[in-house]
Structure 1
Amino acid sequence: MAHSQFDLFLQDATYFDQTSDSTLERDRFYGLYMSWCFINQHLPGTETTFWAAMKDRLPGSRKGLRMKGAAAADYIVSSYPELV
């Protein structure tokens, strides 16, 4: 079964921490997606398309959603260049 770009993004770049009450903020979540697209050489969908896809895949809240992998590292370094 083929997985959509959004399914692959969620699998590669996120995980749920069931013990956490924190939430991956909206801007950071979309930024993570943009980093994932850049690293994997995917043409990103529009922000509207992204949020529509996430609404279907993450019903309710993003409570406990965390970043992981290469996209997380890229996003952090891109967002905070003083770290390098």
Structure 2
Amino acid sequence: MTDTQISIFLSDSVVFEDDTEKGLDFDTLYGLYISWCVLGRKVPIPDSAFKTALALEGLKQVKENGQRIYPGMSMVGAAARDYVVNSVPMWTETATDVPVQELIDQEAVASIA
């Protein structure tokens, strides 16, 4: 992957907002990059090379509230949607030990009463 492709990834998947306290930590940014690669059928580079490529693009991490982030960045676009959908844990029946349909039935009964 070349620096040009990192630039394309950044322009496709990130917005820069100087007047915001938002930012993305490295793991989130790399996960977003992986989603972008999957959607675009590109072979992702290792995380260490990705960190180097970000530095070559002039992006630097800062420490805020005990966490290292790339400030002023927010996720956008198809890769952002893919990353969010695939990084949220699935709610399953084993999480509650109650079948999902039973929970739905209990809520329906409670709303009628």
Shorter-chain TM range is: 0.7 to 0.9
TM-score using structure 1 length: 0.86
Q: Structure 2 CA distance, aligned partners of 1:65 and 1:75?
A: 15
Larger radius of gyration: 2
**Higher deviation after alignment, 74-83 or 22-31:** 74-83
Whether 1:31 aligns to 2:39 is no
Q: Structure 1 CA distance, aligned partners of 2:21 and 2:41?
A: 32
Considering Cα pairs closer than 8 Å and 6+ residues apart, tell me whether 1 or 2 has the greater RCO.
1
**Higher deviation after alignment, 48-57 or 15-24:** 15-24
- 1:61-80 CA distance string (max 9 Å, x none): 42111100000000000001
Corresponding letter in the other structure for 2:59: P
- Name the one with the larger strand percent: 2
Q: List, as ranges, runs of 4+ consecutive aligned residues in structure 1 with deviation greater than 6 Å.
A: none
Count residues with an aligned counterpart.
82
**5+ residue gaps in structure 1?**
none
**5+ residue gaps in structure 2?**
62-69, 92-113
